[in-house]
Structure 1
Amino acid sequence: MSAHHRLTLKQPSGRELLGGDLLAQCLKALGVEVAFGLHGGHLDAFLMGCAENDIELIDTRHETVAVQAAEGYAKVKGKTGVCFVTANSGFCNGLPGLATALADRSPIFCVTSSAPLRDAATNALQDFHDQVVLARPVTKFAHRITNVGEIPRLVSLAWRTANTGAPGPVLIDFPIDVLFTPVIEESVAWGNITAPEVSLPGPSPKAVEDVLKLAKEAQRPVILVGTGARGAISEVSAFAEKTGIPIFHSPKFSTGIAQNHPFYGGSATNLALLGPTGKPTPDLVIVLGARTGFILGGRSGAIIPNKDCKVVQIDIDGGEIGRSTHIDLGVVSDIALAVSALSSAVEKNSFKAPEDWVKTALGMRAFKAPHNESEPVIDTNNGNLHPYHAVKRLLQSLPEGNILCVDGGEVGGWTLQLMTEARASLSMVATGYLGFLGNGWGYSLGAAVADRSKLVVNIQGDGSAGFHIAELDTFKKFGLNILTVVVNNSVWGMSIAGQEMIYGKVTSQRPAAKLRVDTRYDVVAQGFACTGALIDATNSLKQTASETRKKTYEDLGPIDEGKSSKVLDGIAAAVEDIIKADGPGLIDLRVSPQPNQDTTKAMVGHTDDPNVIVVPYYDNIPRPYYK
């Protein structure tokens, strides 16, 4: 093999070159700068190799978070995220992260280890499960390396698999004896470890012509971008400027389209407001790197209309085209290449979307639900802040250009309604296609490492907050600029709302849906040496920030005419204090459990029709008999 395809191996200081060193040097050659994980002795040869090769190691308190941090890093950085989990116990904890990465098409390279090959099937330490067998259903590629010389070839194979085609997670199992085996350079299979990036597929001229024909004929076109358009921001922005077509993004991921772009329309959920507010709906939706399904309204037609609307779907994965809804034109292509080709063709045959439509579509960004706006700031039934107003003031208090990561159920719905108030440079809904609570801790960690210049806002419900709150320790250890906000209504909000809609408000019959009102998340934060603040409109708890801040938010007393503004000002003050503090912080933001956000109501699908059986979160079914 020519020298062009070889690595110039770096000899470790004071010891021989081992398999773990070779693995680290391969990843370094592929551009890896950081890896997330949790220590295990099986991995020490690799971890030492990372230290020798300037790969930063971010160690977490739980392996699930490590894998999800690699995913958050990939979303923000636009590069494959790397994580490491130790044999069997650590690997099993990491499986949920691989499952979410596969569902959300995130490129993750996961390193794990196992018992020595000679000890296979002997009940050896941490060697009960076959990790490759377990990983295959939740990865694009999983393999065990049995020869140290094959490391570069198989690492490069896995790496290309993770970030070409439909991106996704890959996992390689390196038995401990392979990682600790000395490397004989003459026996190494280099593969394409040093080869340049592969060429990506682009659209045919006929496909470009067909897309533009539909765009020219349309009177109400929109562009809808998803995670697959992450690397095509400049191309999509330029295409919108040439054609005047408004851009909307999947609620799951905003892709980084600038909020001040003249044709930025915000979340695709804004499209669902057009019909109910008496406005015309799109007659053409150009879907770029986004998957149809429940995140885009499912088959309801709320976001992508079912009638009188043509749909173009461009995706790197042909299997996603028309998966859940009718598509008039499908194009398998890299998004950047496809949109570049469309822009070039538009230069020769210019057209513009009708101005009145553009004004109507973009105007939905400013829409605020009147029933929420008119609600009192403080719920007179229980003295708590209304979650809509609490979240609104919180988002308004954030510095412009933040990265917003949204976890939880009810709080996710409130935040999505008010997303534009945050003026974020990037937004992510962490629950994804699995509806996976707790992802926000890892996503926020990965985002903060990927871009240390921005404030990362980790919005949680009090339910989702409990999954991985110990990662506050990780945030503090690495001095990360993360503001965690626990929007706390002391219940599993979406669960209890669904139960009440279907079965009525019987307080004694709310199975598995209650949390404790006296749990102090701000005190937990202080225990991890983070700044913590409690904002509570009631008199039940004293409102204090971290002892290290020596700051007290005064008892606001009983409800009166001026109390609402004082409590809202307290939110802004807490945000300001935590941003000014050294390192991460947390706000325990107490809100009323009573009002349910609109998305929950729509998802539960409650009806009084006696001929229908309500199936929460899915389409209802007709009752087979009725008396």
Structure 2
Amino acid sequence: MSSFPLQYPPGRELTGGDLLAQSLKQLGVEVAFGLHGGHLDAFLMGCESIGIRLIDTRHETVAVQAAEGYCRISTKPGVCFVTANSGFSNGLAGLATASADRSPILCITSSPPIRDTENNSLQGSIDQVVTARPLTKFAHRVIAPEECPRIVSHAMRVAQSSPPGPVLLDFPIDVLFSPIHPKLISWGSITSPPTYPPGPHPAAIEEAAQLIRAAKRPVIITGTGAGRLQARESLFKLAETCNIPVFNSSKYAMFHPQSIMLSSGAAGILAKLPLVQLARPDLVILLGARTGMFLGGKSGAIIPNNCTLIQVDCDGSEIGRTLPVKLGIVSDIEAFSSTMYTKLGTAYQGSVDEAWVRSVLNLSSAESPFEKDPAETAGLLHPYHALKSLFSAIEPGSIVVLDGGEAGVWAGDLAPRCQPSTVITSTGYLGFLGNGFGYTLGSAIAAPDRKIVNIQGDGSAGFHMMELDTYKRFNLNVMTVVVNNSVWGMSINGQDLVYGSSNSARPISSLNPETEYDVVAKGLQNAAAKVTRISEIASTVVKFQGQSGPSCINLIVDRKPTHPVTTMMVGLTESPDLVVVPYYDNIPRAYYKL
């Protein structure tokens, strides 16, 4: 019988809430994010007794997304808690992003007593398990307190198994507050070691080796599946042995450890190869990177339509989802990289064009088309020059979280200038705005030794600005930067492209130019400054990153020029046979245009 020694809190009975907390502790949980609700008090007291750190937020969505940010940086499962119905409903947005972005988190919620089911009880209108199932890998209501170890360990294994994703457990309040009968405890596999991840088939390794040896212009593109430190180490051994350049997808970029084969530009830079008269890759190896919006969809802009494609992913259903693959391998990325390196080893003899490799790795060092633009116009900062100055002053090794529309893509181009350890694009596959506040919180708790930079557009900043209060209460080294152009940048610039500059109508795409985000931040006891001159940026960044605790910069920029990504996403065409559908492939016109 697998079990762990129960710890009885002094002066009170051992409850279901205690057993839940102790089960989590046994599974290695050190911290949980959430917002208080009386339904959860027995669990919260259990966490306090057993030494699980509680980080409380100002909104439940942020709590769930903080758990997601924590698991990305720590590589441990993230745990969050939301109270019955109201808190649960607020947390659904976090479950949605975790589901779309394959993040292993456990969400704990509560509900009315079992006897009051379907009784119009307080916070009991929504069946939380039924509601959560489409957004989770596993959702379950625990109806006996003694079942906590078995169900919790099962849920955690489901969250971490391939493909990873969110799980939810609903503990009715009477289950959490009821005393435990020790002889009835169902321990399950609570003390069993974690399972090994899937590895590549030997025949797949053999075929992959042949394709790599034959390639003249190979590249590797990594995604969130290659985020663990061990995976990066084995990956770079393989890349350096085979002389293969490595590009991060714009979804998730990890720069530590460094490698001579790691490009400082995101994979999107490969779309520039025809413009600089360089041949395109003949072999693309996707490692834990999903096809779709972050890799150019079906356009062929990033992954050429005529290249040989090897796709390695822990989820077999992702292989060939968007593009035809020559070789699909279901495997953990570390297992694939280390096995591939062992296969090729020091005896590797390939056909790689070394001059091409050097040219591709130097792509990101080419001068930006905005470099010669004025840094300031009519009292407003050029977004490129403002963010270039900002990132040039940020402490190397920082964790950068990108949020917002155009603000996020301007920042994504320039973030490598600060030599970050990790860059997280928080908008994800659902295009959510405001996630960055939670991801930043989770990152700061997971890596207290690093500076965290929370980049927000003024649109995304409006979602969860109150979390600056959370940053202050825990004295986190977070610098929030609001890139403030007083509009929804991608929206209004997209309208300009579709409807032309002569049409003055721009429905609901403007914000209040008088909003003082620095004043809000000061009211929440963050150090803060409003920056309107290029000459002020570097000194302000150095000052704030050099002090302990949170800070906020209100960076005033122009809404022009339109970022090239916005232009690309709108997909404007002069063809009379196509209807422009912003953000997706254009569609054929159903009738002839007169």
Matching of residue 46 in structure 1 with residue 10 in structure 2 = no
| Corresponding residue to 2:113 among 113, 116, 125 | 116
How far off is 1:365 after superposition?
A: 2.3
Where do 1:16-27 residues align within 5 Å? 16-27=13-24
1:549-605, Cα deviation, whole Å (9 max, x unpaired): xxxxxxxxxxxxxxxxxx222001111221233310000000011211000000011
Where do 1:68-87 residues align within 5 Å? 68-87=65-84
Contact 1:237/1:257 (CA < 8 Å) preserved in 2? no
* Equivalence for 2:576: 610
Larger displacement relative to structure 2 (99-108 or 199-208): 199-208
* Equivalence for 1:196: 193
* Equivalence for 1:564: none
1:423-466, Cα deviation, whole Å (9 max, x unpaired): 10100000000011000000000000000111100000000000
Matching of residue 325 in structure 1 with residue 323 in structure 2 = yes
Task: Report percent identity of matched pairs.
Answer: 53
How far off is 1:155 after superposition?
A: 0.5
Larger displacement relative to structure 2 (234-243 or 395-404): 234-243
Contact 1:226/1:255 (CA < 8 Å) preserved in 2? no
How far off is 1:205 after superposition?
A: 1.2
* Equivalence for 1:361: 360
Larger displacement relative to structure 2 (194-203 or 313-322): 194-203
Partner Cα separation in structure 1 for residue 250 and residue 23 of structure 2: 36
How far off is 1:419 after superposition?
A: 2.6
Partner Cα separation in structure 1 for residue 586 and residue 198 of structure 2: 41
Matching of residue 101 in structure 1 with residue 101 in structure 2 = no
Partner Cα separation in structure 2 for residue 347 and residue 423 of structure 1: 30
* Equivalence for 1:237: 236
How far off is 1:109 after superposition?
A: 0.5
Contact 2:221/2:249 (CA < 8 Å) preserved in 1? yes
**SS of equivalent residue, structure 1 residue 314:** strand
| Corresponding residue to 1:263 among 253, 261, 264 | 261
1:67-111, Cα deviation, whole Å (9 max, x unpaired): 000000011001110000000000000000000000000000100
* Equivalence for 1:398: 394
* Equivalence for 1:288: 287
Partner Cα separation in structure 1 for residue 251 and residue 136 of structure 2: 21
How far off is 1:361 after superposition?
A: 1.4
Partner Cα separation in structure 2 for residue 486 and residue 11 of structure 1: 48
**Runs of 4+ with deviation above 6 angstroms:** none
Where do 1:29-40 residues align within 5 Å? 29-40=26-37
Partner Cα separation in structure 2 for residue 503 and residue 316 of structure 1: 43
1:172-221, Cα deviation, whole Å (9 max, x unpaired): 00000000111111101111011001122211111111111000000000
How far off is 1:130 after superposition?
A: 0.2
Partner Cα separation in structure 2 for residue 76 and residue 256 of structure 1: 12
* Equivalence for 1:487: 483
Partner Cα separation in structure 1 for residue 82 and residue 503 of structure 2: 43
Partner Cα separation in structure 2 for residue 367 and residue 72 of structure 1: 32
How far off is 1:340 after superposition?
A: 0.9
* Equivalence for 2:418: 422
* Equivalence for 1:173: 170
Contact 1:281/1:305 (CA < 8 Å) preserved in 2? yes
**SS of equivalent residue, structure 2 residue 196:** coil
* Equivalence for 1:601: 567
**SS of equivalent residue, structure 1 residue 418:** helix
Partner Cα separation in structure 2 for residue 506 and residue 574 of structure 1: 39
**SS of equivalent residue, structure 1 residue 467:** helix
| Corresponding residue to 2:429 among 424, 427, 433 | 433
How far off is 1:257 after superposition?
A: 4.1
**SS of equivalent residue, structure 1 residue 373:** coil
Contact 2:483/2:557 (CA < 8 Å) preserved in 1? yes
**SS of equivalent residue, structure 1 residue 42:** helix
Partner Cα separation in structure 2 for residue 276 and residue 29 of structure 1: 55
How far off is 1:525 after superposition?
A: 0.2
Contact 2:401/2:439 (CA < 8 Å) preserved in 1? yes
Larger displacement relative to structure 2 (611-620 or 130-139): 611-620
User: Which consecutive unaligned segments of at least 5 residues does structure 1 have?
Assistant: 537-566
* Equivalence for 2:457: 461
Letter in 2 for 1:578: F
Partner Cα separation in structure 2 for residue 149 and residue 255 of structure 1: 41
Contact 2:518/2:530 (CA < 8 Å) preserved in 1? yes
User: Which consecutive unaligned segments of at least 5 residues does structure 2 have?
Assistant: none
Letter in 2 for 1:262: I
How far off is 1:369 after superposition?
A: 2.5
**SS of equivalent residue, structure 1 residue 608:** coil
How far off is 1:507 after superposition?
A: 6.6
How far off is 1:263 after superposition?
A: 0.6
Partner Cα separation in structure 2 for residue 483 and residue 360 of structure 1: 35
* Equivalence for 1:587: 553
* Equivalence for 2:514: 518
* Equivalence for 1:387: 383
Partner Cα separation in structure 2 for residue 114 and residue 155 of structure 1: 17
How far off is 1:348 after superposition?
A: 6.3
Partner Cα separation in structure 1 for residue 353 and residue 80 of structure 2: 48
How far off is 1:618 after superposition?
A: 0.7
RMSD between aligned residues: 1.1
How far off is 1:256 after superposition?
A: 4.2
How far off is 1:243 after superposition?
A: 1.3
Contact 1:104/1:432 (CA < 8 Å) preserved in 2? yes
**SS of equivalent residue, structure 1 residue 515:** coil
Letter in 1 for 2:343: A
Larger displacement relative to structure 2 (200-209 or 466-475): 200-209
**SS of equivalent residue, structure 1 residue 518:** coil
Partner Cα separation in structure 2 for residue 146 and residue 582 of structure 1: 45
How far off is 1:383 after superposition?
A: 2.6
* Equivalence for 1:10: 7
Q: How many residues align?
A: 589
Partner Cα separation in structure 2 for residue 488 and residue 607 of structure 1: 30
**SS of equivalent residue, structure 1 residue 533:** strand
1:395-428, Cα deviation, whole Å (9 max, x unpaired): 1110100000000000112112223212101000
Contact 1:252/1:428 (CA < 8 Å) preserved in 2? yes
Contact 2:220/2:285 (CA < 8 Å) preserved in 1? yes
Contact 1:404/1:428 (CA < 8 Å) preserved in 2? yes
* Equivalence for 1:444: 440
Letter in 2 for 1:384: L
Letter in 2 for 1:277: V
Contact 2:394/2:545 (CA < 8 Å) preserved in 1? no
Letter in 2 for 1:103: A
TM-score norm. by structure 2 comes to 0.98
Partner Cα separation in structure 2 for residue 500 and residue 242 of structure 1: 48
**SS of equivalent residue, structure 1 residue 570:** helix
Contact 1:413/1:598 (CA < 8 Å) preserved in 2? no
